[in-house]
Amino acid sequence: MSKNGDAVLFTIWRNTMAYHTMGLFQDQLDKIRNGTKRVELRLNDEKRQQIMVGDKIRCISTTRKDSIEVLVIKRCEYASFDQLYLDFSPV
């Protein structure tokens, strides 16, 4: 018998998280890093349709050797950019 008991139970799940990469200008990367940018707006093309809540995105600078990893915590789809803009005030 071990000092802490004979049995242990772990609750587990299959990790379905995916990793993606996305290029950003350095000023946008800096805003993510300092917390002033918390959303990214993109065309919902085939590549972006693969990104789900819980996935991680490596944002890579298009101008310097710099990157930051972020976690997708919410995903919203809109019929058009006009509809999207109605939900968000200008940054």
The CA-to-CA distance between both ends of the chain, in Å, stands at 60
Q: What is the mean pLDDT of the chain?
A: 85
Place of tokens 């990893």: 69
Q: Return the pLDDT at 83.
A: 86
CB neighbourhood size of 59 (10 A): 20
SS3 69: strand
pLDDT band of residue 1 (cuts 50, 70, 90) is: very low
pLDDT band of residue 12 (cuts 50, 70, 90) is: low
Place of tokens 């972006």: 48
- Examine the pLDDT at 74 and tell me if it is beyond 80: yes
d(Cα 12, Cα 42) in Å, to the nearest integer?
33
| pLDDT, average across residues 66-90 | 87
What pLDDT, in 10s, does the model give residues 17-48?
889 999 999 999 999 999 999 989 898 999 99
d(Cα 26, Cα 10) in Å, to the nearest integer?
42
